[in-house]
């Protein structure tokens, strides 16, 4: 009876870990969608409202949740301080500081940092073009993720359950 309960506990806990890892895949896709939406709002603010970056960050921070709100407010505050950093340095510092735990993968974070480098030294039209290019890139990445997200989730759950069964077999 004790072996049975121990085996059941091992299999269920490993399956739980598989489910948790599967949720990470889904969370990563959702985080990518949020950043896609946010950069789209930034592009619209620049193109149609003609806002400056500080004003735009403050306005958009009211429309999004944490950690994106904190990222935008951090950008605004550091830009107002003018402590000798370039725009791209401020952008990268805030991405590293506020968006590390957002669920975005390393690839998405690196693309976001590259966007900041492109925005820092460009005129308004080039900034808008950089945002459009970034949105296309993220859109393609999201399409690719969407194609195999269900399969990736199932694989992680199955691997967790299989690992639990394998461990149980070795212990018995």
pLDDT in tens, 81-131: 878 888 888 888 888 888 888 888 888 888 888 888 888 766 788 888 888
Looking at residue 122, its pLDDT comes to 67
| Residue ranges covered by each domain of the chain | 30-147
Looking at residue 136, its pLDDT comes to 93
| Site of tokens 């009211």 | 62
To the question of pTM greater than 0.75 for the whole model, the response is: yes
Contact 58, 73 (CB under 8 A): yes
Contact 53, 131 (CB under 8 A): no
Q: Distance between CA atoms of 142 and 130, rounded to whole angstroms?
A: 18
Q: Distance between CA atoms of 98 and 76, rounded to whole angstroms?
A: 13
Looking at residue 34, its pLDDT comes to 92
Q: Distance between CA atoms of 5 and 3, rounded to whole angstroms?
A: 6
In SS3 terms, the chain reads as CHHHHHHHHHHHHHHHHHHHHHHHHHHHHHHHHHHHHHHHHHHHHHHHHCCCHHHHHHHHHCCCCCCHHHHHHHHHHHHHHCCCCCHHHHHHHHHHHHCCCCCCCHHHHHHHHHHHHHHHCCCHHHHHHHHHHHHHHHHHHHHHHHHHHHHHHHHHHHHHHHHHHHHHHHHC
| Site of tokens 């950069």 | 39
| Residues of the chain under the 50 pLDDT cut | none
């Amino acid at each position: 009876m004790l072996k049975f309960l121990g085996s059941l506990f091992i299999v269920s806990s490993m399956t739980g870990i598989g489910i948790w890892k599967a949720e990470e895949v889904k969370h990563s896709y959702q985080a990518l969608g949020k950043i896609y939406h946010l950069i789209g709002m930034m592009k619209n603010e620049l193109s149609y409202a003609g806002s400056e970056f500080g004003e735009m960050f403050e306005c958009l921070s009211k429309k999004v949740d944490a950690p994106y709100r904190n990222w935008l407010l951090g950008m605004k505050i550091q830009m107002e301080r003018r402590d000798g950093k370039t725009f791209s340095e401020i952008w990268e510092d805030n991405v590293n500081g506020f968006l590390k735990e957002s669920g975005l993968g390393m690839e998405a974070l690196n693309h976001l940092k590259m966007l900041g480098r492109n925005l820092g030294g460009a005129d308004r039209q080039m900034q808008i073009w950089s945002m459009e290019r970034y949105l296309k890139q993220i859109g393609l990445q999201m399409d690719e993720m969407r194609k195999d997200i269900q399969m990736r989730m199932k694989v992680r759950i199955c691997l967790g359950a299989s690992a639990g069964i394998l461990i149980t077999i070795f212990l018995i």
